[in-house]
Structure 1
Amino acid sequence: MMADIGTFLPDEAFLLDVHADDWKDAIRLAGQGLVNAGFTTDAYTDEMIATVEKMGPYIVIAPGLALAHSRPSDAVKSTGLSWVRLSDPVEFGNKANDPVSLVIGLAGRNENEHITVMSAIAAALVKPEKREQLANAKDATEIRAILEG
């Protein structure tokens, strides 16, 4: 998938089986993963929420899956991902793909890196069987192995 997914998805970026009250809360968790890993500042989390408020729930790209992101900005320190698996799915307002139980946060330092990482993650997640494996993975190491496989 990527040269080394561990670089883009370190252990600090995972929040597994956590509760979110609503879609904003789910994006805040994804933002927290990005901050924990040192990829972004808290300002980027606000930018991701603002993007959905402005553009609608287009970030729900597959059944049960949201790819939370915003445009590259000063709030992005380096390109990376966060991985949030919700204990209870939440509605984003996307009729085709709600409810969402996996929120991947994506921060791109520039347009090129943003698109490269987004394309790679989307390619890994288009297969329903892979999404199923990821939903049942026990930990960060297992998730990375599935993505790289």
Structure 2
Amino acid sequence: MLCNYLEDTIELIDSAPSWEDSIKIAAEPLLKQGNINESYIQDMISNIHKFGPYIVIVPGIAMPHAQNKGGVIKNGVSLLKLKKPVLYPEDKEVNIVMVLAATDSSGHLDLISDLSSVLADEDIKNSLENAKSKDEILRLIKSVE
């Protein structure tokens, strides 16, 4: 399920200038595919300014998302892997940014539960952090689905 979403939305780059940029870069594939529009990216960034880094769900991994106020056209997930971590508020280092876009809260919860089961496995999480290619990331996620 998750793999279908991530097929064309995984990016690997060296670094991001700021946490805000890491969200913009991570969301770019969803924007290009028409899953979301610019307002959704702004909503995700505003949420962190308002509520702090609650989206850093486990050390090293952030899962930015926001309520759909018209910014999500269709469900999607994208993944950005940074070689060099970016600092989120409260000095939380993040090197994997997974953007969640869901048209409604039930889709939202399904995606979060899929992602959580992937990230709950310490070996998978470590392998994900060390992955060097899109194919390697997809293989890892397929192995736990």
- The normalised TM-score by structure 2 is 0.90
Q: Note the aligned Cα RMSD (angstroms).
A: 1.5
Give the SS at the match of 2:64.
strand
Q: 1:114 — aligned with what?
A: 108
| Between structures 1 and 2, the one with greater helix share | 2
- State how far apart, in whole Å, the 2-side matches of 1:147 and 1:94 are: 29
1:9 to 6, 12, 23: 6
Alpha-carbon distance between aligned partners in 2 of 1:18 and 1:77, rounded to the nearest angstrom = 30
Contact 1:60–1:94, Cα closer than 8 Å, also in 2? no
* Mapping 1:98-113, distance limit 5 Å: 98-113=92-107
Structure 1, gaps ≥5 residues long: none
In the TM superposition, residue 110 of structure 1 has moved relative to its aligned partner by: 0.7
Q: Which residue of 2 aligns with 1:43?
A: 39
* Deviation, structure 1 residue 82: 0.6
Q: State whether residues 64 and 101 of structure 1, in contact with CA within 8 Å, keep that contact through their aligned partners in structure 2.
A: yes
Note if 1:133 corresponds to 2:130: no
Q: Structure 1 segments of 4 or more deviating over 4 A? A: none
- Residue 20 in structure 1 maps to residue 16 in structure 2: yes
Q: How does 1:77-116 map to 2 (within 5 A)?
A: 77-94=73-90, 98-116=92-110
Aligned pairs, number: 143
The answer for unaligned runs of 5 or more in structure 2 is: none
Instruction: With the length of structure 1 as denominator, give the TM-score of the two structures.
Output: 0.88
**Superposition deviation, residue 144 in structure 1:** 1.8
* Corresponding letter in the other structure for 2:55: I
SS at match of 2:73: coil
Measure the CA separation in 2 of the matches of 1:36 and 1:123.
27
Q: Is the 8 A contact 2:101 2:108 kept in 1?
A: yes
Question: 3-state DSSP class of the match of 2:63?
Answer: strand
Identity of aligned residues (%): 30
